[in-house]
Amino acid sequence: MTRSYDLIVIGAGMAGVSAANKCASQGWNVAIVDALPYGGTCALRGCDPKKILRRGAEIIDSARLMRGKGIDDEGLSLNWTDLMKHKHGFTDPVPRNMEGSLAGNGIDTLHGLARFTDKTSIEIDGTPYHATHFLIATGARPRPLEFPGHEHLVDSTDFLDLEILPPRIMFVGGGFISFEFAHISARAGSAPVIVDRGARPLKAFDPDLVELLITRGTGVGIELQRSTTITAIEQTPTGYQVSVERSGQAESREFDLIVHGAGRTPDLSSLDLDAAGVAWDERGVHVAAHLQSTTNPAVYAAGDSANTPGMPLTPVAVFEGKVAASNMLKRITAVPDYAGVPTAVFTIPELARVGMLEQEARDEGIDLDVRYSDTSGWYSNYRIGETTAAAKILIDRSSDRIVGAHLLGPEYGELINFLALAMKLDLTTRQLKSMTTAYPTVGSDLGSML
């Protein structure tokens, strides 16, 4: 017998869970399914556990910055095993707690690999289910690599579960994952190397601030190899021999661990979307602006699964899931608002962005006022011994409104939220500077940055 629902959500990450709860609260009969433990990438294999590990690295770095300024850090070290236990203290209860919360809201929690059998039906490990609506929120997986020996790489999930951190680590790719993990590894005693095919890593961030971050990373032992292509990886008795081509020259070097940080792609291949008449490609399910499939009206998609203008961020996935749920419930075509969405790479210090890059703003013909500040000597950074920090705020002269903001410095991942809110609410810099802040705080630096 086929069980029927108003909505089946495929993927128990934050986008899927938010949509399932919203529809169930309005009386819909809802089921959610995942082949992996409930919680999704952010809570179990990404944002949250990563930042727990980063905390250990922050302590080490903070103590070193205060060396000779009142702190004796001799003998201070990061205990990777204990730090990993601390991480598990957060991640291990998540699936049980999330599944219990969903069930408490009347949602059927299913387990197994789902695949479509027609436009309104799926099978989960051979058991058939029917639904009036589907939401695909299956997240992303590491992008396939094709060089010989690629099978020897571990992914971010594996790195976040390492029982022992090896001394020689290569990170493949110049994006979020490689930089964040390299900054953790360096403070934990490893010698990380980032290999990037391009000349400019962290392309989504301001290039001037990225270069400052790279210099800061070099000072703690992070090596960056730009314009470098991996040609092969071979396992050896003592590790992995990595062959690369850099500036036309062949080089070879041995590592204990090689981590995939070269991007992610929507995790859709197992769903048999063709059987449901759902158009898709390597960028995700083809959806209209209101997140409904362009070829199957029963299907919606959100988060990394959907080909939308939104950045691949958990908060974006959550609000896309909620918009998709509202559109299904109300039979409307509301469009997500992507204005003023900030993002950060949690290196040490962190690098944050909201809005346009400087070149993007110039390409659009905006009469730009670039307000750049080297904040490394400001009180909030002097206090903690930080020597690398800067801000670049992009202002439209004609309206006095922020069109982009780029920050590098301690606690600037929090500060970027003020600037994001100003963009969201269409505030002028004059209005934003009128805010009275608690002092001395990092937030009190904002007026001077503007």
- Backbone dihedral angles phi then psi of residue 378, each to the nearest 5 degrees: -70, 155
CATH topology assigned to domain 150-262: FAD/NAD(P)-binding domain (3.50.50)
Question: Which of 274, 272, 303 is CA-nearest to residue 287?
Answer: 303
Cα separation, 341 vs 311, in Å, equals: 8
Tell me, yes or no, if the two domains 3-48+85-142+265-330 and 150-262 fold the same way. yes
pLDDT at residue 326, rounded to an integer: 98
Q: Is the dihedral of CA 368, 429, 403, 440 positive or negative?
A: positive
CB 163 within 8 A of CB 247: no
- Backbone dihedral angles phi then psi of residue 395, each to the nearest 5 degrees: -120, 135
CB under 8 A, 24+ apart: contacts of 230-237: 230/147, 230/172, 230/195, 231/147, 231/148, 232/147, 232/148, 232/149, 233/147, 233/148, 233/149, 233/150, 233/152, 233/153, 233/258, 234/149, 235/149, 235/152
Domain boundaries, the chain: 3-48+85-142+265-330, 150-262, 349-449
**Amino acid identity, position 311:** M
CATH of the domain spanning 349-449: 3.30.390.30
Distances in Å between the Cα of 416 and the Cα atoms of 43, 310, 341, 354, 358 are 22, 18, 10, 7, 16
Q: Please report, in tens digits, the pLDDT of each residue of the chain (450 residues total).
A: 789 999 999 999 999 999 999 999 999 999 999 999 999 999 999 999 999 999 999 999 999 999 999 999 999 999 999 999 999 999 999 999 999 999 999 999 999 999 999 999 999 999 999 999 999 999 999 999 999 999 999 999 999 999 999 999 999 999 999 999 999 999 999 999 999 999 999 999 999 999 999 999 999 999 999 999 999 999 999 999 999 999 889 999 999 999 999 999 999 999 999 999 999 999 999 999 999 999 999 999 999 999 999 999 999 999 999 999 999 999 999 999 999 999 999 999 999 999 999 999 999 999 999 999 999 999 999 999 999 999 999 999 999 999 999 999 999 999 999 999 999 999 999 999 999 999 999 999 999 999
Question: What is the maximum alpha-carbon separation in the chain?
Answer: 73
SS (H, E, C) 132-180: EEEEECCCEEECCCCCCCHHHCECHHHHCCCCCCCCEEEEECCCHHHHH
Cα separation, 284 vs 359, in Å, equals: 27
pLDDT at residue 296, rounded to an integer: 98
pLDDT at residue 247, rounded to an integer: 84
DSSP string, 291-317: SBBSS-TTEEE-GGGB--SS-S-HHHH
Write the DSSP symbol of residue 360.
Answer: H
CB 116 within 8 A of CB 276: yes
Q: Is the dihedral of CA 271, 277, 283, 288 positive or negative?
A: negative
- Backbone dihedral angles phi then psi of residue 95, each to the nearest 5 degrees: -60, -45
Cα separation, 408 vs 243, in Å, equals: 33
Distances in Å between the Cα of 336 and the Cα atoms of 18, 30, 38, 294, 426 are 15, 23, 25, 16, 17
For the chain, give the number of residues.
450
Contacting residues for 157 by C-beta, under 8 A, at least 6 apart: 45
Cα separation, 27 vs 6, in Å, equals: 10
pLDDT at residue 2, rounded to an integer: 85
Sheet strands (E) in 284-389 = 284-285, 299-301, 343-345, 351-355, 368-374
pLDDT at residue 248, rounded to an integer: 85
CATH of the domain spanning 3-48+85-142+265-330: 3.50.50.60
pLDDT at residue 1, rounded to an integer: 75
**Sheet order of strands, 168-172 included:** 223-225, 191-195, 168-172, 257-260
Residue with tokens 């909030």: 380
Cα separation, 350 vs 407, in Å, equals: 8
Q: What is the CA radius of gyration of the chain?
A: 23
Cα separation, 363 vs 394, in Å, equals: 13
